[in-house]
């Protein structure tokens, strides 16, 4: 039987070097840091990761950067300079993982392609995060989150009948970051079990394409794309938000016949609706959505939002108010389960969400958010550079 020391973290001892920017790759490496990996983030001298400048909402720092970069060590380094490439080479020769998401072909031009890395460090797992894959006609094309939302058709599914809309979070970046995270973990496990070292590649397009599979199947085999319906589900009815008498919207979902019959009897107040040929099956309810909406809206209008929620709860029908972000910040599921944890940033303390992966017997690291280049001199010293060499790197702008 395996024993786990309470202080041990799953990735203690794993060293990750990241040549990253923006969202996708930093999201992957932050999760590795939360699990105990030492993540050394390389940033451009003077400016750093350009996500540092996306906004100034958190004590003068970017909300994106604070979210994505806790627990990392920041090394300012000009990797285009000979001295910078030498430092990077030293780092990678001792690392376990190299994550990068620079522009198309940039890492290869620097001399750190997959084959070169295999010669430098045969145990190094390389993870490339790119836009459209490293092969194919679009391999050299730039890709950003909203562009990928457009290319995969997601924007055409999101919004109202009148207009499509961007998903409100960086969903393509997040998807790619999640697959990069799991890909690295898989490669590390395979390395330990078999000795094989496999390069990992994840594209934003492929990641979001996978998440588009259900509407893709629906469209390919029905011949009709799911419609945009705002907060309403495109292929299930009733499943959406309606306004109560106090003006607040409450979303609910009917998932089976038992719920539908209880809803008709006790919420609509008319058991006969359940057997109406327009509404007797799920497909019929979707086809006659407009008629159904009239009945549901009228029943909502007779009750406040609290009364709607209480009645639906009593019927064991899933429901939720349309919260705003302030409501979410004070959500009882987060507050009462201790999901907020204070971390330090250069501008002051902030509350950060505990990682969603709960591993028994371990505590996530949840380290501080680094200032640009905060760990540069310490890291250079660890690589064996003396004080004179470090001063020269500063003087010539390499760090």
pLDDT tens-digit readout, 276-333: 999 999 999 999 999 999 999 999 999 999 999 999 999 999 999 999 999 999 999 9
pLDDT bracket for residue 5 (50, 70, 90): very low
* Residue 220, Cβ density class (10 Å: 0-12 exposed, 13-18 middle, ≥19 buried): exposed
Q: Which domains does the chain have, with CATH numbers?
A: 15-212+335-395 (3.40.50.10540), 239-321 (3.30.1540.10)
pLDDT (average), residues 109-124: 94
Query: What pLDDT is stored for residue 1 in this prediction?
Result: 33
Is residue 158 pLDDT above 50, yes or no? yes
Is residue 335 pLDDT above 50, yes or no? yes
Is residue 110 pLDDT above 50, yes or no? yes
DSSP, collapsed to helix, strand or coil, labels residue 244 as coil
Q: Do β-strands 97-100 and 125-130 pair in parallel, antiparallel, or remain unpaired?
A: parallel
* Residue 224, Cβ density class (10 Å: 0-12 exposed, 13-18 middle, ≥19 buried): exposed
pLDDT bracket for residue 105 (50, 70, 90): confident
Query: What pLDDT is stored for residue 2 in this prediction?
Result: 35
Q: What angle do CA 385, 388, 391 make, to 5 degrees?
A: 95
DSSP 169-206: S-HHHHHHHHHHHHHHHHHHHHHHHH-----EEEEHHH
DSSP, collapsed to helix, strand or coil, labels residue 289 as helix
Q: pLDDT exceeding 70 applies to what percent of the chain?
A: 98
Query: What pLDDT is stored for residue 7 in this prediction?
Result: 52
pLDDT (average), residues 206-223: 96
Query: What pLDDT is stored for residue 251 in this prediction?
Result: 98
Is residue 257 pLDDT above 60, yes or no? yes
Average pLDDT, the chain: 94
Residue recorded with tokens 């495109």: 234
Query: What pLDDT is stored for residue 8 in this prediction?
Result: 79
**What does the alpha-carbon distance between residue 193 and residue 320 come to, in Å, rounded to a whole number?**
45
Is residue 197 pLDDT above 70, yes or no? yes
pLDDT (average), residues 365-369: 95
Task: Please write the tens of the pLDDT for every residue from 11-38.
Answer: 999 999 999 999 999 999 999 999 999 9
pLDDT bracket for residue 253 (50, 70, 90): very high
pLDDT bracket for residue 381 (50, 70, 90): very high
């Amino acid at each position: 039987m395996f024993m786990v020391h309470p202080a041990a973290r799953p990735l203690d001892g794993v060293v990750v070097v990241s040549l990253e920017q923006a969202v996708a790759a930093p999201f992957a490496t932050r999760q590795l840091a939360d699990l105990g990996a030492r993540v050394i983030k390389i940033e451009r001298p003077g400016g750093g990761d350009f996500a540092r400048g996306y906004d100034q909402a958190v004590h003068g720092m970017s909300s994106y950067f604070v979210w994505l970069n806790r627990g990392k060590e920041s090394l300012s380094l000009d990797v285009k300079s000979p001295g910078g490439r030498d430092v990077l080479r030293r780092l990678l020769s001792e690392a376990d993982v190299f994550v990068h998401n620079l522009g198309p072909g940039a890492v290869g031009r620097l001399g750190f392609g997959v084959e070169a890395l295999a010669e430098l460090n045969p145990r190094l797992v390389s993870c490339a995060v790119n836009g459209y894959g490293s092969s194919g006609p679009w391999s050299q094309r730039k890709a950003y989150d909203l562009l990928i939302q457009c290319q995969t058709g997601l924007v055409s599914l999101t919004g109202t009948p009148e207009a499509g809309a961007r998903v409100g979070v960086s969903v393509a970046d997040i998807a790619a970051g999640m697959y990069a995270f799991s890909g690295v973990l898989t490669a590390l496990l395979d390395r330990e079990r078999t000795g094989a070292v496999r390069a990992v590649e994840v594209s934003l397009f492929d990641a979001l394409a996978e998440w588009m599979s259900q509407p893709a199947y629906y469209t390919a085999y029905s011949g009709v794309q799911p419609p945009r319906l705002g907060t309403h589900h495109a292929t299930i009815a009733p499943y959406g938000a309606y306004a109560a008498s106090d003006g607040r919207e409450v979303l609910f979902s009917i998932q089976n016949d038992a719920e539908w019959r209880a809803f008709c009897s006790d919420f609509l107040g008319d058991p006969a609706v359940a057997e109406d040929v327009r509404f007797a099956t799920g497909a019929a309810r979707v086809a006659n959505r407009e008629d159904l909406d009239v009945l549901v809206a009228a029943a909502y209008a007779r009750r406040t939002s609290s009364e709607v929620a209480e009645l639906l709860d009593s019927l064991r029908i899933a429901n939720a108010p349309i919260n705003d972000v302030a409501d979410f910040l004070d959500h009882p599921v987060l507050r009462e389960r201790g999901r907020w944890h204070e971390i330090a940033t250069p501008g002051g303390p902030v509350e950060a969400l505990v990682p969603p992966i709960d591993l028994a017997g371990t505590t996530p690291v949840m380290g501080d958010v680094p200032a640009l280049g905060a760990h540069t001199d310490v890291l250079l010293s660890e690589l064996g550079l003396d004080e004179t060499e470090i001063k020269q790197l500063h003087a010539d702008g390499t760090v």
